[in-house]
Amino acid sequence: MARTPGQAARRDPDWEGVRLHVVSGKGGTGKTTVAAALALALAAEGRRTLLIEVEGRQGIAELFGIAALPYEERRIATVTPAQLGLPASGSAGGSASGTPGGSVSGELHALAIDTEQALLEYLDMFYKLGRAGKALQKVGFVDFATTIAPGVRDVLLTGKACEAARRKGPDGRRTYDAVVMDAPPTGRITRFLNVNSEVAGLARIGPIHSQAQAVMRVLKSPETAVHLVTLLEEMPVQETVDGIAELREAGLPVGGVLVNMVRPPLLDAAAVAAVDGDHREEVALALGEAGLGGRSRKPETVRAAVEPLLDPLLAQAREHAERVELERARRADLQHLKLPTYELPLLGEGVDLGTLYRLAGELKRQGAA
């Protein structure tokens, strides 16, 4: 099911009908980057998406090179199909504004949720706390509340995402076409989303309890998909496989697998074996011809100059082939999951805005958005 980068033609999106995309993954797999790229991709064609961050790290601000985000939804980028390297599409059913010339620009909004403020906002909604809210804050109430029941924190975070995903404007249309949540890592994701059972044992009645149930209904509905980001390495793949089993057991809707930082195979094992064996002299000649043997015209001199390069180059090729082989095995493990799988290329030099748009285009082409 894997679609390799670049080669697949543009196709129909796989997640039509999904409003809330939850993106998780093992630490170090580039979860935040992939979540941002997905949100951008979903915003293409004149749509409006919201990217939510819940761990207070200001990862979105850093990624987009903007000042730290307050606890407030704000537009952080616009996106056109052309920016994602896609042909402009005529049928854009989105809510953002069109630009002259037929190209429709979509909007990416972002929100960094602050637990304390979310709890107070939530209490205020129910109890009209007013000044009492400040007093509660002063005595460390929020700390206390989220400490004695860690599930409460999760309910607030997921609750905010669900609310945004379902919110409607005065015109009766959804405020956002899609909401993408940069969620906690794979090891904690099921617990994080399974707020109902977390809170149920503690708060058996009361608004937190009913809030948890309402959130759970959205999370378990077909409007939600939980995607996992992985690398083609043993541990992340293993965590992905385990994480998906856990999500399924908890009855949470499993989305797709996003394979990040994929490197193109430059040489395979067969090629390396060939270089190692009969072709060694020929390769040495080729390197000499390519000008790596110095300026001498004497074949012996050139050959001798090339010699110190041969073994290191071959050793690197063997390592590369070994890695390609391991990656093949990991890819096979992922295929067993029988889930839509997307591959994003490794783009050297860290991630900047340009690479984010490239990754978003890749996701769009492969049907993730």
Partner 1 sequence: MSGRTGTTGQSGAGAGGSRLAVDELIDNPKTRIIVCCGSGGVGKTTTAAAIGLRAAERGRKVVVLTIDPARRLAQSMGLTELDNTPRIVKGVTGDGELQAMMLDMKRTFDEVVLAHADPERARAIMENPFYQSLSAGFAGTQEYMAMEKLGQLRAAEEWDLIVVDTPPSRSALDFLDAPNRLGSFLDGKVIRILTAPAKVGGRSAMKFLNAGMGLLTGTLGKIFGAQLLTDVQTFVSATDSMFGGFRERADRTYQLLQAPGTAFLVVAAPERDALREAAYFVDRLAADRMPLAGLVLNRVHGTGAPQLTAERALAAAEALEENGSEQVSPDAELLAAGLLRLHAERMQVMVRERRTRDRFVSVYPDVPIVEVAALPGDVHDLEGLRTIGERLSGSAD
Site for partner 1 in 151-180 (CB under 8 A): 151-153
Q: Is residue 191 a contact point for partner 1 (CB under 8 A)?
A: yes
Return the ∠ at Cα 259 (arms to 163 and 346), rounded to 5°.
Answer: 115
Q: Does 26 bind partner 1 (CB under 8 A)?
A: yes
CB of 244 to partner 1, least distance (A): 17
- As measured in angstroms, the least distance from the Cβ of 51 to partner 1 is 18
Kindly identify the residues of this chain, within the stretch 89-128, that bind partner 1 according to CB under 8 A: 123, 126-127
For 174-186, give one letter per residue: b (16+ CB within 10 A) or e: bbbbbbbbbbbbb
SS3 percent helix, strand, coil of the chain, rounded to 5, is 50, 15, 35
Q: Is 141 in the site for partner 1 (CB under 8 A)?
A: yes
| Comparison of 313 and 353: residue with beta carbon closer to partner 1 | 313
369 DSSP 8-state letter: -
Per the CB < 8 A criterion, the answer to whether 249 and 333 are in contact is no
Backbone angles phi, psi at 180, to 5 degrees: -115, 125
Q: Could you tell me which stretch among 41-49, 74-82, 167-175, 316-324 binds partner 1 (CB under 8 A)?
A: 316-324
Q: Which one of residues 88, 267, 339, 347 is an interface residue with partner 1 (CB under 8 A)?
A: 267
**Of 8, 207, 221, 269, the one binding partner 1 by CB under 8 A:** 207
Site for partner 1 in 233-262 (CB under 8 A): 233-236, 238
Per CB under 8 A, 136 contacts partner 1: yes
Cα torsion angle, 139, 142, 146, 149, sign? positive
CB of 98 to partner 1, least distance (A): 37
Under the binding rule (CB under 8 A), the answer on residue 147 touching partner 1 is yes
The binding track of 217-236 with respect to partner 1, each residue x by CB under 8 A or -, is --------------x-xxxx
Cβ atoms of residues 154 and 192 within 8 Å: yes
Task: Work out whether strand 74-79 and strand 106-112 pair parallel, antiparallel, or are unpaired.
Answer: antiparallel
